[in-house]
Amino acid sequence: MSLTQLELFNATVNHQKHDKVLFYAAFTPDLDRRISQKYKLDDSVNLVDYFGMFRPEQIIVPHIDSRNLDFDQYYENVYKPKGTHIDDNGVLHIPGSMYHFTHYISPLRDATAFEQIESFPYKNFSSSGDDDLSKLVQQTHKQGRVATSWVGHMYEDSWQIRGYEQFLMDMAAQSEWCEFILDKVTKRNMFNATAAAKAGVDYIMTGDDVACQ
């Protein structure tokens, strides 16, 4: 009898021998399109399922914030072409010149006082229904699938809120500015991680690009 992905995952992390290997690959939207064309696949076909890849269920931690966060005030004089949007961190994304890439415009790019860093509308978090998350994990396990949850970026989200050059300058000239933002983002990530762990997910994910020449 073939093992489910959950059984394969548990065997792998417990260093138990088995005959199959869990593997995964992610594609950019354009490459995804070209692969589908090459294999003459319908638009409804998921390449992860088509190639039999590892496909855990993403358990999303809901956030309860009663405030109506308004980020428009940070972009009153910014030209917003078609396709522009503001993400959950308040960062403005303008479509780039190729593929899925966007240009970032940071809400705190022009901040000149620490009070502006403090008063920025960072997200507040409160109880998000641990019982409901646990039920989702249990349902996923009954289907023989692995449950995971994305915790979030820390460094990337922080510099995007402030602006990359400004954030690096803050590290050298006024470190309390970037430390304050990092603390706010870390608090959010810890909220996500704790809720996911309590719900019983099999693993949590985080990620960051932390590098410069």
**pLDDT (tens digit per residue) in 169-201:** 999 999 999 999 999 999 999 999 999 999 999
Average pLDDT, the chain: 91
DSSP state of 72: G
- Mean per-residue pLDDT for 132-150? 96
State yes or no: pLDDT of 90 exceeds 80: yes
Range in 45-49, 140-144, 205-209 with the lowest mean pLDDT:
205-209
* Positive or negative torsion for Cα 9, 12, 17, 18: positive
Query: Tens digits of per-residue pLDDT, 98-132?
Result: 777 899 999 999 999 999 999 999 887 765 566 78
CB 212 within 8 A of CB 171: no
CB 157 within 8 A of CB 150: no
For residue 77, give the nearest of 56, 95, 92 by alpha carbon.
92
Per-residue pLDDT, 97: 83
Diameter over CA atoms, the chain: 64
The string of DSSP codes covering 56-69 is PEE--------S--
> Residues, the chain, total?
213
pTM as predicted: 0.86
Per-residue pLDDT, 67: 67
Per-residue pLDDT, 101: 86
The string of DSSP codes covering 186-203 is HHHHHHHHHHHHHHT-SE
pLDDT band at 89 (very low <50, low <70, confident <90, very high): very high
d(CA 125, CA 65): 6
* Positive or negative torsion for Cα 130, 134, 137, 143: negative
pLDDT band at 36 (very low <50, low <70, confident <90, very high): very high
Per-residue pLDDT, 127: 57
Per-residue pLDDT, 86: 95
